[in-house]
Copies of this chain bind each other. A is one copy, B any other.
Amino acid sequence: MRHLTNLELLLLALLQARPASGYTLRKAFVTTPLGHFSDSPGSIYPALQRLVRRGLIRPVKDQPASGRRKQLFSITPKALAELRDWLSQPITRDDIQHDPGGVMLRFAFSAQLLGNAAAREFALQLEIRVHETIVELESFLHGPGANMTAAARLAVEQGLEGYQALARWATRAAKELKRS
């Protein structure tokens, strides 16, 4: 069983909330700023077909009484297990550096699927890993990256400050999720 794309996981997470059609899902991508996925039909419809083939979603019999045809999909128990597994994976520094969008995606849906306590745990773990990443970057700046051009150093510092903002956010998120 091949691994699932961020797009496929996002589709599953959205369908877990409520069954929806390809078109509805597409619209959600355009109107919400969550993760930047393509709203083109060429990405979503094939993705939905893949999910059907893998037995993770199922077309719902629509009431064709009248109105436009609209193929709704709902997730299967297998998909629910897959989602829980995805959300339970530990965060790695590699995730943070190579796929920050996927990390935030996981956070956004962990409350929905695993509860606020789990989301809070996620934020706390994220904070730890981000701090590790910051240390790594700082030691690069003081070590091998000490004699870069001014512009290159500034570019690296931008990354560093982005991580620092992320760390601050994670502490705040954990705090806010505690109060509920």
What is the minimal beta-carbon distance from A14 to any residue of chain B, in angstroms?
Answer: 11
Q: Is the CB of B149 within 8 A of A111?
A: yes
0 or 1 for each of A149-178: is its CB under 8 Å from B? (1 = yes): 111101111110110111011000100110
B155 close to A116 (CB less than 8 A): no
Q: Is the CB of B162 within 8 A of A162?
A: yes
Q: Is the beta-carbon distance between A180 and B140 smaller than 8 angstroms?
A: no
**Which stretch, A31-39, A46-54, A57-65, A78-86, touches the partner chain B?**
A31-39
Which of B97, B98, B107 lies in contact with A151, CB distance below 8 A?
Answer: B107
Choose among B145, B162, B166, B180 the residue that contacts A150 (Cβ–Cβ < 8 A).
B180
CA distance A97 to B151 in the complex (A): 22
Interface pair A108/B32, CB less than 8 Å apart? no
- Which B residues are in CB contact (< 8 Å) with A137? 33
Cα–Cα distance between A33 and B162 once the two chains are bound (Å): 13
Q: CA–CA, A117 to B165, complex, Å?
A: 28
Query: Is A7's CB within 8 Å of the partner chain B?
Result: no
Please pick, from B110, B151, B177, the residue contacting A108 in the complex, using a CB distance under 8 A.
B151
Question: Can you add 13 more A-B contacts, CB < 8 Å, to A33-B159, A107-B151?
Answer: A33-B137, A33-B145, A34-B155, A107-B155, A108-B155, A111-B151, A112-B149, A150-B177, A157-B169, A158-B173, A161-B168, A164-B165, A165-B165
Interface residues in chain A, defined as those with a beta carbon under 8 Å from any beta carbon in chain B: 31-34, 36, 97-98, 104, 107-112, 116, 119, 137, 140, 144-145, 149-152, 154-159, 161-162, 164-166, 168-169, 173, 176-177, 180
